[in-house]
Each structure stands twice: as C-alpha cells, then as structure tokens.
Chains A and B, each alone.
Chain A
C-alpha cells in the first residue's frame, strides 16, 4: 500500500517526522523541567515558596517584593507543621558569583555558591563521590564546612582528594567535607558548584531565601495551605506591613513565576502550550489530509471493488485510517530520534544553560515520553485522515467502478 506512491509516502513521512520532532522537543523539554530527576527527586510532592510582597500599611504605593526573608521564615513560617520535609536555601543567580580561592593562592575563581540548611540534603538527592554533607549539629553550630562539585574540586586540587582541604569563600576559611557529582544547570534548585551552611555567613539574616516543603500525603496539603494563610494573618497582625506570600506553588506553577511580584496564571501557561502544539500539528495534518484525499481518489476503483465484494463502509474507513497510521508511526519514530538530537543541540536555548552542561539521560527515555509520542502520532493521524476516510467509506459503488 505504501509502495503505491513512494515519493508522496516519503513526503508524508518527512512531514510527520518534522511535526512530531517539534512537538516532542517541547514535550521532552517540559519533562526535563518537571519530572522527578536526581538531585531534584521530590519535585512532584514539593511546594515552593520563593517570593513574597510586603506592602506598607500607611503609604499606598510603597511595597517591597523579593525572596523570602529570614524574619518571615524564623518567626512566622515556623508555625507551619503539615509537611514531611522542608528546607531553606538561597537562590543561585547566573550572574552572582562569589570568590573562591585556595589558601593564600591569589588565583581567584568566581563560582556560584548556594547557602542551605542540613535538611536540604534530604529533600535533594545528591550523588556524593567523596565525603558527606553537613549535618544538623554542624549546621546549628555554624561550622565552616563546604561541599564542592566534582568539577570544582578537580580544578582546585587536581588529582588529590579534596576532603579536609580548605578553601576561602567570602574571605572565610571553609573545610571541604564532601564532593558531589556535577549537577546540570537545568536544576534550578539543586545546581551549584559550592554548597555551605547559611549559618556560616555573617548577616545571614539579611539574605533572601527560598523554601521548599515536601508533602507526600495529599490530605495534609489543604491543611498546609491553611497554615500558610495563617502565617500571613499573624504577620499582618504583628508588623507594620501586610504580607502576601507568592505561593506556595507546586513545581509546574512555580516555573511560571519568574518575577517576585507577578502571580503565575496556570491557564495562560497551558494556553501557550496548546496554541503552539496546535500550530505544529494542524499544518502537517492539512498536508497529510490532502495527500490522503488524493490517494483515496486515485483508488476509487479499488474501493468500489472491495465494497462490491463485501467490504463494509466501516472496513473501508478503518483501512484508510490504518494505512495512514502506519506512515504516522514511522514518521513519529524518526521524529522522536530527531527531537533528542535537537534537545541536546539546542540545550543552551531551551534551558538557559552554558555549554559543557550535560542533561541526565533518564529524562530523555522514559515510558511517559513514548506514550506521548504515540498519542501525538495517533492524534495527528486522526486529524489528517478522518476526512478522507469518511469520504472513502461513503463512496457509491457503481460510481466508483465506473470512474476511470
């Protein structure tokens, strides 16, 4: 059946592959950003509190928005109890780098530093190639322990083990107690090159933080939200400002919140995806549809014969659909492979990362991905062949046979 018209079949397959490739790039990118992948293995159960707004009670237009302040964390968020794990840590901005150097060597390096608590290592799952993370006691005591990435450790200490060596961070001396496998920059909350307890930094109460709460139990969640609203109420009662927390949001929603004072709209995010995918599928669908209609027209005689010999309208309809499905699946498979290459090739654009970064393989090949490909193929197939199939099934036998 395919051999009928090699050229057009080839074109159909290319068209399908292209459409599937683009749709899959979007889906794979989305998967990488939203699935549970180490170190961020708790994404699906996590609730993120990144920013809040404090509005002045007296002056109308006066407000300050930014990361979660330590004051809010210590005095108000401590009342929240309905969660399984929680952590407080600083965000890492791409342009904010801190000075690291080894002992008295004057070679300075500029690296991102993440300040966090001891629970951070429970919420995230890092792969320690050497040593260990700092624990609760060390954190409470404010001991200057640091964890380095494998890459940085190699740069600073070469082939020697980095454990127990000292580095200067913020002009203070830290002891390296752990080295982790490099983390891709696609992980907004896990990525860094240096991790240190935030208690070791002078003026840590002035820093801005993010908080993550992990709640496995679905029932606890509504209680959790209530407690957050209570936080706001208590704050408003005690302070000269009114507090509005941005969130807490689940993983997908917080991705849409890039500004501290703008609320992400879930509907708009979905709408954006739908719009783009619609364009990517509708245009090839029209293509394939027109080819299919032409093909059906060409085979009018054949359809007449089949019907004369007992084929039902439904059988003809299904036959057209299956034939097109075959092209769709082949195109889909090629498209999937191409999409992998595209994601790797364009990763700087898609994820805002720098070269040299590697994306975990697990993100690419998962059952969910294959399911999506299959669904998209079927969808494309249906949209593009439903009209020709219907037309074919309704053809009058006599007219078909006499058509030449």
Chain B
C-alpha cells in the first residue's frame, strides 16, 4: 500500500521575467514503513518535492495522494488538519521558536489539535525519547545544534504522525551529531514511521533502504 503517491507532478515558479521549472513530470510512490532518501545537486528541486509532499506547497499540475487521500481540492482547514495529524517535519535550520522554551516548542503541534489531554506529559515523553528531558526549560539559544535538531524531531513526533519529512536534517551539524540524528531516525523507522529524507550526503543516504535521485527537476535512476 502506498502511503505517498505522486502522479505527474510539475512545479513552475513564475516571476515577471523568468519562468523556472522546478519539477517536471515527477512520479513517485512510497510504501508504508519505508525510509527513502532523495538526492541531487542544489537547485534540482528536492526541497520543492518535499514541500509538495508535505502539503506546504501546491503543484502546478499533477496529483498528490497521501495516505490514500487525494489532496487536490482540499481547503486550508483540511490541509492544516492533515498536516497536524499525518505529517511531521524536520527542517535543516531547525526552525524552533526562539521565544518559547524546549517544552513549549515540542507541544506546539498539539495546540492545534482538538481534544488533547495531558499535552505536557506527552511532550515530556517524546523529549525523553530523544534524550533531552534534562533541558525542558531551556531556550533554543542555549542549546547546541544537535540538541536543537533533536528538539525538532521530538516536535515532529509528538503527534504520532505516519510520515516524517526531513529536509537535510544533518546539514547544519558536525558528523558526530549527524550520525546520532540518523540513528534516531532509523529507530523511528523501525517502529513503523515512514520517513522521506532529503540529503546531499552519500554516506547517510546509503543507510536508507531506497535512494531517489533528481537532476534539474526530473527523476533519474
């Protein structure tokens, strides 16, 4: 069963003078429980692909199907709900909220979900999972890069998403920290979470089951 299915996806960016074709005729299927890497040089469209899968951006043409649901005509509220329940994001530059402490950062997704009890307990649980429960009250500016990324992963996890989308998760980390993060991702994958990871690091990509390569907006294999 494919949990992610992209058919004929194209994404064109238009400005007044230039038309950029970021993605062209992309077809992709990801099965449930897979851990795949998307690789390619900079500017080849891999981040755009991730944004489209993550429903952060709309394709210019083509169909997107997440968890067997077509997302083409979904309204803002539906999309938001979907993002909240089914997807979890990890960004290259962490994107933590600097004015909130670690615990609040992790709880954030649950704020937008109705009928949630024990938010704080759940947050503490995931923080323990990523090994950061001793830093609950600290602020992002007081943590190292690796710690920040772990908080971001905790945040991505707290809603029990079916899919985690990671955009160059080790890009801003040194090799040791990067290895820890990948290890964490593998743990999650073993528990059943589907992971789509964009990376430019061959070593890391090789640890995943499938690698998809992109060049100039097209899949190459």
Contacts and interface: CB of A to CB of B under 8 A. Distances in A.
Q: Report whether chain A binds chain B.
A: yes
Interface of A: 1, 3-4, 301-302, 304-315, 397-398, 401, 404
Nearest to A3: B99
A313 B76 CA distance: 7
A312 B112 contact: yes
Nearest to B76: A313
Given A3-B99, A398-B51, A308 B56 contact: yes
Contact of B95 (A3, A305, A311, A313): A305
Contacts of B155: 309
B129 to A, nearest CB: 18
A305 B57 CA distance: 14
A312 B112 CA distance: 8
B79 to A, nearest CB: 9
A73 B200 CA distance: 100
A3 B101 CA distance: 13
Given A397-B56, A397-B57, A398-B56, A311 B99 contact: no
Nearest to B94: A305
Interface stretch (B36-44, B83-91, B182-190): B83-91
Contact of B84 (A3, A302, A310): A310
Given A309-B84, A311-B80, 19 more contacts: A3-B99, A302-B97, A302-B99, A306-B112, A307-B80, A308-B89, A309-B83, A309-B89, A309-B112, A309-B159, A310-B80, A310-B81, A310-B83, A312-B76, A312-B77, A397-B57, A398-B51, A398-B56, A401-B95
Contacts of B97: 302, 305
B88 to A, nearest CB: 8
B110 to A, nearest CB: 9
A308 B83 contact: yes
User: Sorted from nearest, which 5 A-B pairs have the closest CB atoms?
Assistant: A310-B84, A310-B112, A309-B109, A312-B80, A397-B56
Contacts of A307: 80
Per DSSP, chain A at the interface is: helix
21 contacts: A1-B99, A302-B97, A304-B95, A305-B97, A306-B108, A307-B80, A308-B54, A308-B56, A308-B83, A308-B89, A309-B155, A310-B81, A312-B77, A312-B112, A313-B80, A315-B112, A397-B56, A397-B57, A398-B51, A401-B56, A404-B93
Contacts of A310: 80-81, 83-85, 109, 112-113, 159
B171 to A, nearest CB: 14
A314 to B, nearest CB: 8
Contacts of B96: 305
Contacts of A313: 76, 80
A298 to B, nearest CB: 10
Contacts of A304: 95
A306 B85 CA distance: 14
Interface string B105-148: 00011011100000000000000000000000000000000000
Nearest to B89: A308
A262 to B, nearest CB: 59
Contacts of A398: 51, 56-57
B75 to A, nearest CB: 10
A4 B99 contact: yes
A314 B77 CA distance: 9
B2 to A, nearest CB: 23
Contacts of A306: 108, 112
Given A304-B95, A397-B57, A398-B56, A309 B108 contact: yes
A309 B56 CA distance: 10
A312 B75 CA distance: 10
Name which of A302, A308, A315, A397 has the most chain B CB atoms within 10 A of its CB. A308
Contacts of A315: 112
A311 to B, nearest CB: 5
A312 B57 CA distance: 15
